[in-house]
Structure 1
Amino acid sequence: MQRIVIVLALALGLAGGAAAQEEGPRLTVRGEGEASAPPDMAVITLGVTERASEAAAAMDAASGVAARILERLETLGVEARDVQTSDLSLNPVRRGDGSEAEPEIVAYEASNRVDLRVRDLGSLSDVLAAVLEDGANTLGGLSFSVSDPEPLLNEARRDAVAKARSKAELYAEAAGVTLGPIVRIDEGGSGGGFPRPMAEMRAVKDVPVAAGETGYTAEVTIVYELVD
Protein backbone atom coordinates (compact mmCIF):
# COMPACT_ATOMS: atom_id res chain seq x y z
CA MET A 1 0.00 0.00 0.00
CA GLN A 2 2.83 2.41 0.89
CA ARG A 3 4.54 1.73 -2.43
CA ILE A 4 1.35 2.53 -4.36
CA VAL A 5 0.92 5.83 -2.49
CA ILE A 6 4.52 6.81 -3.22
CA VAL A 7 4.13 5.98 -6.90
CA LEU A 8 0.92 8.00 -7.16
CA ALA A 9 2.52 10.96 -5.38
CA LEU A 10 5.46 10.89 -7.78
CA ALA A 11 3.13 10.68 -10.76
CA LEU A 12 1.10 13.67 -9.56
CA GLY A 13 4.26 15.62 -8.87
CA LEU A 14 5.57 14.96 -12.36
CA ALA A 15 2.22 15.98 -13.86
CA GLY A 16 2.18 19.20 -11.86
CA GLY A 17 5.74 19.96 -12.87
CA ALA A 18 4.91 19.42 -16.52
CA ALA A 19 1.92 21.75 -16.24
CA ALA A 20 4.07 24.41 -14.58
CA GLN A 21 6.66 24.07 -17.32
CA GLU A 22 3.99 24.43 -20.02
CA GLU A 23 2.78 27.71 -18.51
CA GLY A 24 4.89 30.43 -20.08
CA PRO A 25 5.34 34.09 -19.13
CA ARG A 26 2.19 36.15 -18.82
CA LEU A 27 1.20 39.79 -18.69
CA THR A 28 -1.70 41.09 -16.59
CA VAL A 29 -3.19 44.49 -17.38
CA ARG A 30 -6.20 46.42 -16.14
CA GLY A 31 -8.34 48.81 -18.14
CA GLU A 32 -10.87 51.37 -16.99
CA GLY A 33 -13.54 52.50 -19.44
CA GLU A 34 -16.25 55.09 -19.30
CA ALA A 35 -19.23 56.31 -21.26
CA SER A 36 -21.66 59.17 -20.73
CA ALA A 37 -24.86 60.56 -22.16
CA PRO A 38 -27.42 63.26 -21.38
CA PRO A 39 -29.89 61.99 -18.77
CA ASP A 40 -33.51 61.28 -19.63
CA MET A 41 -34.87 60.93 -16.09
CA ALA A 42 -34.75 62.85 -12.80
CA VAL A 43 -35.10 61.33 -9.34
CA ILE A 44 -36.33 63.63 -6.56
CA THR A 45 -37.20 63.26 -2.90
CA LEU A 46 -39.95 65.66 -1.89
CA GLY A 47 -42.64 65.88 0.75
CA VAL A 48 -44.09 67.82 3.62
CA THR A 49 -43.33 68.42 7.28
CA GLU A 50 -46.08 69.77 9.54
CA ARG A 51 -46.09 70.71 13.22
CA ALA A 52 -49.06 70.87 15.60
CA SER A 53 -49.76 70.78 19.31
CA GLU A 54 -51.38 67.35 19.02
CA ALA A 55 -49.86 64.29 17.34
CA ALA A 56 -53.01 63.45 15.39
CA ALA A 57 -53.33 67.02 14.11
CA ALA A 58 -49.74 67.03 12.87
CA MET A 59 -50.16 63.71 11.09
CA ASP A 60 -53.50 64.75 9.58
CA ALA A 61 -51.98 67.96 8.23
CA ALA A 62 -49.02 66.14 6.67
CA SER A 63 -51.27 63.42 5.26
CA GLY A 64 -53.60 65.99 3.70
CA VAL A 65 -50.77 67.72 1.87
CA ALA A 66 -49.28 64.38 0.80
CA ALA A 67 -52.64 63.30 -0.62
CA ARG A 68 -52.90 66.51 -2.65
CA ILE A 69 -49.36 66.03 -3.96
CA LEU A 70 -50.10 62.43 -5.06
CA GLU A 71 -53.31 63.52 -6.78
CA ARG A 72 -51.52 66.32 -8.60
CA LEU A 73 -48.74 64.00 -9.75
CA GLU A 74 -51.35 61.68 -11.23
CA THR A 75 -52.95 64.55 -13.18
CA LEU A 76 -49.49 65.47 -14.48
CA GLY A 77 -49.12 62.00 -15.95
CA VAL A 78 -46.64 60.61 -13.41
CA GLU A 79 -47.24 56.87 -13.19
CA ALA A 80 -47.86 55.12 -9.88
CA ARG A 81 -44.74 52.97 -10.36
CA ASP A 82 -42.64 56.15 -10.29
CA VAL A 83 -43.86 57.34 -6.88
CA GLN A 84 -42.86 55.58 -3.66
CA THR A 85 -43.17 56.65 -0.04
CA SER A 86 -39.66 56.84 1.41
CA ASP A 87 -40.31 58.28 4.86
CA LEU A 88 -43.31 58.56 7.20
CA SER A 89 -42.52 59.78 10.69
CA LEU A 90 -44.01 61.44 13.77
CA ASN A 91 -41.80 62.87 16.50
CA PRO A 92 -42.32 64.97 19.61
CA VAL A 93 -40.80 68.44 19.76
CA ARG A 94 -39.38 69.11 23.22
CA ARG A 95 -38.46 72.35 24.94
CA GLY A 96 -35.81 72.60 27.62
CA ASP A 97 -32.29 73.69 28.40
CA GLY A 98 -31.04 70.15 28.89
CA SER A 99 -31.20 70.24 32.68
CA GLU A 100 -34.57 68.48 32.91
CA ALA A 101 -34.65 64.70 33.11
CA GLU A 102 -37.60 64.69 30.70
CA PRO A 103 -37.97 67.93 28.69
CA GLU A 104 -41.51 69.10 28.12
CA ILE A 105 -43.23 68.14 24.85
CA VAL A 106 -44.49 71.36 23.25
CA ALA A 107 -45.55 70.05 19.82
CA TYR A 108 -45.45 67.15 17.41
CA GLU A 109 -43.86 67.07 13.99
CA ALA A 110 -45.08 64.77 11.23
CA SER A 111 -43.25 64.13 7.97
CA ASN A 112 -44.29 62.39 4.77
CA ARG A 113 -41.79 62.10 1.92
CA VAL A 114 -41.86 60.34 -1.43
CA ASP A 115 -39.23 59.40 -4.01
CA LEU A 116 -40.35 60.56 -7.43
CA ARG A 117 -39.05 59.65 -10.89
CA VAL A 118 -39.72 62.18 -13.62
CA ARG A 119 -39.21 60.47 -16.97
CA ASP A 120 -39.97 63.58 -19.04
CA LEU A 121 -37.32 66.14 -18.13
CA GLY A 122 -39.24 68.76 -20.05
CA SER A 123 -41.97 68.56 -17.41
CA LEU A 124 -39.64 68.77 -14.42
CA SER A 125 -40.25 72.48 -13.85
CA ASP A 126 -44.03 72.02 -14.02
CA VAL A 127 -43.96 69.07 -11.64
CA LEU A 128 -41.91 70.88 -9.02
CA ALA A 129 -43.96 74.06 -9.31
CA ALA A 130 -47.20 72.09 -8.91
CA VAL A 131 -46.17 70.13 -5.81
CA LEU A 132 -44.80 73.28 -4.16
CA GLU A 133 -48.11 74.99 -4.77
CA ASP A 134 -49.87 72.02 -3.19
CA GLY A 135 -47.89 72.38 0.02
CA ALA A 136 -44.64 70.47 -0.40
CA ASN A 137 -42.05 72.12 1.85
CA THR A 138 -39.17 69.63 1.75
CA LEU A 139 -37.15 68.96 -1.36
CA GLY A 140 -33.85 67.13 -1.72
CA GLY A 141 -31.94 64.35 -3.36
CA LEU A 142 -32.34 65.67 -6.90
CA SER A 143 -30.31 63.50 -9.26
CA PHE A 144 -30.32 62.65 -12.95
CA SER A 145 -29.94 59.27 -14.63
CA VAL A 146 -30.84 57.31 -17.74
CA SER A 147 -33.76 54.91 -17.82
CA ASP A 148 -31.83 52.21 -19.72
CA PRO A 149 -28.17 52.21 -18.59
CA GLU A 150 -27.19 48.89 -20.21
CA PRO A 151 -26.06 50.37 -23.57
CA LEU A 152 -23.84 52.87 -21.74
CA LEU A 153 -22.44 50.14 -19.49
CA ASN A 154 -21.62 48.04 -22.57
CA GLU A 155 -19.89 51.02 -24.17
CA ALA A 156 -17.84 51.52 -21.01
CA ARG A 157 -16.91 47.80 -21.02
CA ARG A 158 -15.71 48.00 -24.63
CA ASP A 159 -13.67 51.07 -23.73
CA ALA A 160 -12.13 49.21 -20.77
CA VAL A 161 -11.11 46.27 -22.96
CA ALA A 162 -9.65 48.57 -25.62
CA LYS A 163 -7.60 50.46 -23.04
CA ALA A 164 -6.36 47.24 -21.47
CA ARG A 165 -5.33 45.96 -24.91
CA SER A 166 -3.55 49.22 -25.74
CA LYS A 167 -1.67 49.10 -22.44
CA ALA A 168 -0.67 45.46 -23.01
CA GLU A 169 0.64 46.24 -26.51
CA LEU A 170 2.69 49.12 -25.14
CA TYR A 171 4.27 46.97 -22.42
CA ALA A 172 4.96 44.12 -24.84
CA GLU A 173 6.63 46.47 -27.32
CA ALA A 174 8.76 48.04 -24.59
CA ALA A 175 9.79 44.63 -23.30
CA GLY A 176 10.55 43.24 -26.76
CA VAL A 177 8.01 40.43 -26.59
CA THR A 178 4.87 39.56 -28.49
CA LEU A 179 1.38 39.28 -27.06
CA GLY A 180 -0.05 35.81 -27.28
CA PRO A 181 -3.65 34.68 -26.77
CA ILE A 182 -5.79 35.91 -23.91
CA VAL A 183 -5.73 33.52 -20.97
CA ARG A 184 -8.38 35.14 -18.80
CA ILE A 185 -10.70 38.16 -18.65
CA ASP A 186 -12.10 39.32 -15.31
CA GLU A 187 -14.61 42.13 -14.98
CA GLY A 188 -14.21 44.46 -12.05
CA GLY A 189 -16.77 46.84 -10.68
CA SER A 190 -19.16 48.63 -13.00
CA GLY A 191 -20.98 51.72 -11.89
CA GLY A 192 -22.85 54.72 -13.08
CA GLY A 193 -25.26 57.46 -12.37
CA PHE A 194 -22.61 60.00 -11.42
CA PRO A 195 -22.99 63.49 -12.90
CA ARG A 196 -20.74 65.08 -15.47
CA PRO A 197 -20.68 68.86 -15.98
CA MET A 198 -22.50 70.17 -19.01
CA ALA A 199 -23.58 73.65 -20.04
CA GLU A 200 -27.32 73.00 -20.04
CA MET A 201 -29.34 74.87 -17.43
CA ARG A 202 -33.05 74.59 -16.71
CA ALA A 203 -35.11 76.93 -14.55
CA VAL A 204 -37.03 75.03 -11.90
CA LYS A 205 -39.28 77.36 -9.93
CA ASP A 206 -36.82 80.20 -10.62
CA VAL A 207 -33.95 78.00 -9.47
CA PRO A 208 -31.41 77.01 -12.17
CA VAL A 209 -30.85 73.26 -12.43
CA ALA A 210 -28.02 71.73 -14.47
CA ALA A 211 -28.95 68.36 -15.95
CA GLY A 212 -25.38 67.70 -17.09
CA GLU A 213 -24.49 64.21 -18.27
CA THR A 214 -24.64 60.84 -16.56
CA GLY A 215 -21.45 58.79 -16.62
CA TYR A 216 -20.89 55.05 -16.32
CA THR A 217 -17.64 53.18 -15.69
CA ALA A 218 -16.33 49.64 -16.09
CA GLU A 219 -13.13 47.85 -15.10
CA VAL A 220 -11.57 44.78 -16.69
CA THR A 221 -8.46 42.72 -15.99
CA ILE A 222 -6.95 40.76 -18.89
CA VAL A 223 -4.20 38.15 -18.72
CA TYR A 224 -2.15 37.56 -21.90
CA GLU A 225 0.37 34.90 -22.71
CA LEU A 226 3.70 36.28 -23.89
CA VAL A 227 5.70 34.99 -26.84
CA ASP A 228 9.46 35.62 -27.00
Structure 2
Amino acid sequence: MGELRVRGKSLVSAEPDLVILSFTVKVFDKEYDNCIQNLNKKVEYLRQNIVACGLNRKDLKTSDFNVYVKTKEDVYTNSYKTVGYEAYHELHIELPMDRELLNKVLEYVAKGHSGTMIDISFSVSETDSVKKRAMIEAVQNAKENARILASEAGVKLGRIIRIDHGFTEIRVSERRYRALCEQSPSYNVDIEPMDLGYEDVVTITYEIID
Protein backbone atom coordinates (compact mmCIF):
# COMPACT_ATOMS: atom_id res chain seq x y z
CA MET A 1 0.00 0.00 0.00
CA GLY A 2 1.57 3.24 -1.15
CA GLU A 3 1.22 6.92 -0.43
CA LEU A 4 0.41 10.00 -2.47
CA ARG A 5 1.73 13.35 -1.27
CA VAL A 6 0.16 16.43 -2.82
CA ARG A 7 0.64 20.13 -2.29
CA GLY A 8 -2.09 22.73 -2.39
CA LYS A 9 -1.57 26.46 -2.74
CA SER A 10 -3.87 29.44 -2.50
CA LEU A 11 -3.63 33.12 -3.13
CA VAL A 12 -6.55 35.22 -1.93
CA SER A 13 -6.90 38.97 -2.09
CA ALA A 14 -8.41 41.38 0.39
CA GLU A 15 -9.23 45.05 0.14
CA PRO A 16 -7.17 47.03 2.68
CA ASP A 17 -9.12 48.86 5.37
CA LEU A 18 -6.19 50.19 7.41
CA VAL A 19 -3.59 52.86 6.67
CA ILE A 20 -0.28 52.57 8.52
CA LEU A 21 1.77 55.75 8.68
CA SER A 22 5.40 55.22 9.66
CA PHE A 23 7.39 58.32 10.54
CA THR A 24 11.18 58.61 10.60
CA VAL A 25 12.62 61.67 12.35
CA LYS A 26 16.36 62.19 11.91
CA VAL A 27 18.71 64.73 13.51
CA PHE A 28 22.45 65.40 13.34
CA ASP A 29 24.45 67.56 15.73
CA LYS A 30 28.05 67.87 16.83
CA GLU A 31 27.01 67.62 20.48
CA TYR A 32 25.22 64.57 21.89
CA ASP A 33 22.94 66.52 24.23
CA ASN A 34 21.90 68.91 21.46
CA CYS A 35 21.25 65.99 19.14
CA ILE A 36 18.87 64.30 21.58
CA GLN A 37 17.16 67.56 22.52
CA ASN A 38 16.57 68.51 18.88
CA LEU A 39 15.30 65.03 18.10
CA ASN A 40 12.86 65.14 21.02
CA LYS A 41 11.71 68.58 19.91
CA LYS A 42 10.94 67.36 16.39
CA VAL A 43 9.13 64.29 17.70
CA GLU A 44 7.05 66.50 19.97
CA TYR A 45 6.12 68.64 16.95
CA LEU A 46 4.98 65.46 15.26
CA ARG A 47 2.91 64.41 18.28
CA GLN A 48 1.27 67.85 18.36
CA ASN A 49 0.43 67.53 14.66
CA ILE A 50 -1.24 64.18 15.35
CA VAL A 51 -3.27 65.63 18.22
CA ALA A 52 -4.30 68.60 16.04
CA CYS A 53 -5.91 66.12 13.65
CA GLY A 54 -8.15 64.86 16.45
CA LEU A 55 -6.13 61.71 17.09
CA ASN A 56 -4.81 60.37 20.39
CA ARG A 57 -1.10 61.05 20.86
CA LYS A 58 -0.78 57.68 22.63
CA ASP A 59 -1.67 55.96 19.36
CA LEU A 60 1.61 57.21 17.90
CA LYS A 61 3.93 54.40 18.96
CA THR A 62 7.73 54.17 18.88
CA SER A 63 8.98 51.32 16.70
CA ASP A 64 12.71 52.10 16.74
CA PHE A 65 15.20 54.52 18.30
CA ASN A 66 18.92 54.77 17.57
CA VAL A 67 21.83 57.12 18.13
CA TYR A 68 24.97 56.71 16.03
CA VAL A 69 28.41 58.22 16.45
CA LYS A 70 29.51 59.83 13.20
CA THR A 71 33.24 59.66 12.52
CA LYS A 72 35.62 60.98 9.91
CA GLU A 73 38.94 59.54 8.88
CA ASP A 74 42.05 61.64 9.50
CA VAL A 75 44.42 60.65 6.70
CA TYR A 76 47.38 62.33 8.38
CA THR A 77 47.12 60.38 11.63
CA ASN A 78 45.50 57.29 10.09
CA SER A 79 42.74 57.43 12.70
CA TYR A 80 39.08 58.34 13.05
CA LYS A 81 37.69 61.22 15.04
CA THR A 82 34.14 61.89 16.17
CA VAL A 83 32.44 64.64 14.18
CA GLY A 84 28.98 64.42 15.72
CA TYR A 85 25.95 62.30 16.46
CA GLU A 86 23.03 61.17 14.33
CA ALA A 87 19.80 60.12 16.00
CA TYR A 88 16.73 58.40 14.55
CA HIS A 89 13.28 58.01 16.05
CA GLU A 90 10.81 55.86 14.14
CA LEU A 91 7.11 55.95 15.04
CA HIS A 92 3.93 54.60 13.52
CA ILE A 93 0.18 55.05 13.79
CA GLU A 94 -2.72 53.04 12.35
CA LEU A 95 -5.69 54.83 10.79
CA PRO A 96 -8.93 53.62 9.23
CA MET A 97 -9.05 53.74 5.43
CA ASP A 98 -10.26 57.31 5.18
CA ARG A 99 -8.70 59.45 2.45
CA GLU A 100 -9.92 62.70 4.01
CA LEU A 101 -8.32 61.81 7.36
CA LEU A 102 -5.12 60.66 5.64
CA ASN A 103 -4.81 63.94 3.76
CA LYS A 104 -5.51 65.88 6.93
CA VAL A 105 -2.74 64.09 8.83
CA LEU A 106 -0.24 64.53 5.98
CA GLU A 107 -1.14 68.20 5.63
CA TYR A 108 -0.72 68.92 9.35
CA VAL A 109 2.58 67.06 9.48
CA ALA A 110 3.79 68.84 6.35
CA LYS A 111 2.96 72.22 7.88
CA GLY A 112 4.69 71.25 11.11
CA HIS A 113 8.39 71.39 11.89
CA SER A 114 9.26 67.73 12.32
CA GLY A 115 10.79 67.29 8.84
CA THR A 116 9.82 63.65 9.04
CA MET A 117 9.98 61.01 6.33
CA ILE A 118 6.70 59.14 5.96
CA ASP A 119 6.08 55.60 4.76
CA ILE A 120 2.46 54.89 3.86
CA SER A 121 1.41 51.24 3.85
CA PHE A 122 -1.90 49.42 3.92
CA SER A 123 -3.18 46.40 5.78
CA VAL A 124 -6.32 44.48 6.72
CA SER A 125 -7.82 44.62 10.19
CA GLU A 126 -9.47 41.17 10.06
CA THR A 127 -6.37 39.22 9.05
CA ASP A 128 -7.52 36.02 10.81
CA SER A 129 -10.58 35.59 8.59
CA VAL A 130 -8.53 36.24 5.44
CA LYS A 131 -5.86 33.74 6.50
CA LYS A 132 -8.59 31.19 7.28
CA ARG A 133 -10.01 31.65 3.78
CA ALA A 134 -6.54 31.18 2.31
CA MET A 135 -6.06 27.97 4.31
CA ILE A 136 -9.43 26.56 3.22
CA GLU A 137 -8.67 27.25 -0.44
CA ALA A 138 -5.21 25.66 -0.08
CA VAL A 139 -6.78 22.48 1.33
CA GLN A 140 -9.37 22.42 -1.47
CA ASN A 141 -6.60 22.85 -4.03
CA ALA A 142 -4.62 19.96 -2.52
CA LYS A 143 -7.67 17.69 -2.56
CA GLU A 144 -8.40 18.54 -6.20
CA ASN A 145 -4.78 17.90 -7.17
CA ALA A 146 -4.92 14.52 -5.40
CA ARG A 147 -8.14 13.58 -7.17
CA ILE A 148 -6.70 14.44 -10.59
CA LEU A 149 -3.43 12.60 -9.98
CA ALA A 150 -5.17 9.50 -8.67
CA SER A 151 -7.62 9.47 -11.58
CA GLU A 152 -4.89 9.82 -14.20
CA ALA A 153 -2.71 7.21 -12.49
CA GLY A 154 -5.59 4.74 -12.22
CA VAL A 155 -5.40 4.38 -8.44
CA LYS A 156 -7.86 4.98 -5.61
CA LEU A 157 -7.35 7.38 -2.75
CA GLY A 158 -7.68 6.05 0.77
CA ARG A 159 -7.68 7.86 4.06
CA ILE A 160 -5.62 10.96 4.76
CA ILE A 161 -2.46 9.94 6.60
CA ARG A 162 -0.98 13.34 7.35
CA ILE A 163 -1.58 17.05 6.80
CA ASP A 164 1.33 19.49 6.93
CA HIS A 165 0.46 23.16 7.17
CA GLY A 166 3.42 25.53 6.99
CA PHE A 167 2.48 28.66 8.85
CA THR A 168 5.84 30.14 7.91
CA GLU A 169 4.82 30.00 4.27
CA ILE A 170 1.94 32.41 4.75
CA ARG A 171 2.88 35.67 3.09
CA VAL A 172 1.07 38.96 3.48
CA SER A 173 1.96 41.51 0.83
CA GLU A 174 1.78 45.21 1.65
CA ARG A 175 1.87 48.21 -0.66
CA ARG A 176 4.20 50.94 0.54
CA TYR A 177 4.56 54.57 -0.52
CA ARG A 178 7.14 57.05 0.70
CA ALA A 179 7.05 60.82 1.04
CA LEU A 180 9.14 63.54 2.65
CA CYS A 181 7.04 66.00 4.61
CA GLU A 182 8.32 69.52 4.38
CA GLN A 183 6.56 72.80 5.01
CA SER A 184 3.94 73.36 2.32
CA PRO A 185 0.45 74.88 2.10
CA SER A 186 -1.20 71.52 1.43
CA TYR A 187 -0.32 67.89 1.06
CA ASN A 188 -3.14 66.10 -0.73
CA VAL A 189 -2.58 62.59 -1.99
CA ASP A 190 -4.65 60.54 -4.41
CA ILE A 191 -3.73 56.95 -3.60
CA GLU A 192 -5.87 53.98 -4.56
CA PRO A 193 -4.18 50.99 -2.90
CA MET A 194 -4.11 47.61 -4.61
CA ASP A 195 -5.67 44.63 -2.90
CA LEU A 196 -3.38 42.76 -0.53
CA GLY A 197 -2.40 39.18 -1.36
CA TYR A 198 -2.46 36.38 1.19
CA GLU A 199 -0.76 33.09 0.27
CA ASP A 200 -0.95 29.76 2.06
CA VAL A 201 0.43 26.27 1.40
CA VAL A 202 -0.75 22.89 2.69
CA THR A 203 0.56 19.37 1.99
CA ILE A 204 -1.72 16.33 2.32
CA THR A 205 -0.52 12.74 2.30
CA TYR A 206 -3.07 10.14 1.18
CA GLU A 207 -3.08 6.40 1.47
CA ILE A 208 -3.27 4.70 -1.95
CA ILE A 209 -5.60 1.69 -2.15
CA ASP A 210 -4.41 -1.10 -4.45
Q: What's the TM-score bracket when you normalise by the shorter of the two chains? A: 0.7 to 0.9
Counterpart position of 2:197: 215
Determine the structure 1 residue equivalent to 2:147: 169
Specify which of 114, 121, 131 is matched with residue 143 of structure 1: 121
Larger Rg: 1
Specify the alignment match of 1:47 in structure 2: 24
Deviations 1:79-104 (CA, angstroms, capped at 9, x unpaired):
45642212333344445564444445
Map 1:113-192; keep pairs closer than 5 Å.
Answer: 113-122=90-99, 123-189=101-167, 190-192=169-171
> How many Å apart are 1:161 and its aligned residue?
0.8
Question: Judging changes above 3 Å, is the alpha-carbon distance between structure 1 residues 109 and 188 closer, same or farther for their aligned structure 2 residues?
Answer: closer
Distance 1:55 1:29, change over 3 A: same
Count of aligned positions? 198
Deviation larger for 103-112 or 171-180 = 103-112
Percent identical across equivalent pairs? Answer: 28
What is the one-letter code of the residue matched to 1:225? E
User: Equivalents in 2 of 1:120, 1:206: separation in Å?
Assistant: 15
Alpha-carbon displacement from aligned partner over 1:132-172 (angstroms, at most 9, x marks no partner): 32223342543211112011101111110111111111111
The CA distance in 2 between the partners of 1:120 and 1:79, in whole Å, is: 17
Higher relative contact order (CA 8 A, sep 6+): 2
**Pick from 9, 21, 34: which aligns with 1:57?**
34
Structure 2 alignment gaps of length 5 or more = 176-185
Q: TM-score, normalised by structure 2?
A: 0.79
Q: Secondary structure at the match of 2:126?
A: coil
Q: Which string of whole-angstrom CA distances, capped at 9 and with x for unpartnered residues, describes residues 21-47 of structure 1?
A: xxx222111101121111111223213
More helix by share: 1
Provide closer, same or farther for how the CA distance between residues 133 and 74 of structure 1 changes in structure 2, counting only shifts above 3 A. Answer: same
Structure 1: runs of 5+ lacking an equivalent: 1-23, 197-203
Matches of 1:62 and 1:107, distance apart in 2? 14
